[in-house]
Amino acid sequence: MKVKVCGITNIEDALYCIESGADALGFMLYKSSKRYVDIFAAREIIIQLPPFTMLVGVFVNEKPKIINYIAEELGLNAVQLHGEETPQVTDEINFPIIKAFRTNKNFDFSEVERFQGITPMFDSDSLKSNFGGTGKTFDWSIIPEEYRRRSIIAGGIGINNIEELINEINPAAIDLSSSLEAKPGIKDHTKVKAFFEKLAELKNK
């Protein structure tokens, strides 16, 4: 199971997360986010990172040509879409895509099949009112079996429920943000260290 740490805004947090065991870093390129970094700040962080660091840019209802431009400029490995993007939009993007779906008991999982070649991310539907980092989870058991091992799970994941998530879903990857923060956009290194130590402990069971 891979781990992406999102909401990176400074090089100290970026390096600490990578050294602690993060497989990917996420940069909020959406201006209304409390964890927003512009393209120039993101570039300054990225050029100081170790080679082969997985880089993901997060966008919300952005034009495909702008997504492609920013992703190319920053050397992103993938883009993550958190808005109301349609399959027509994703077809115009030239990078691997993670598409977030706001998930609750009424969510129609056939919606995922409308998108070709994307990696689905299932996240809390609380994002409707407050984009990103709400720390709210959802009932993972509603995720159909066929999606569990090939999806990314986000929303309220932390040291207190990671064991339950692995036992119940064992997804391809998880996405963490607020559970590792001191405040929006600033990681708490003690929380980061504790989480990855817990994850290592679970993997060695």
Which residues belong to the active site?
6, 123
d(CA 61, CA 32): 12
DSSP annotation of 62: -
Q: At 109, is the secondary structure helix, strand, or coil? A: helix
d(CA 49, CA 40): 15
Residue bearing tokens 């993101």: 42
> Token pair for residue 125?
């539907």
Length of the chain: 205
Phi, psi of 183 (to 5 degrees): -160, 165
Q: How far apart are the first and last CA of the chain?
A: 15
| Residues in CB range of 67: below 8 A, 6 or more apart | 57, 59, 79, 93, 95
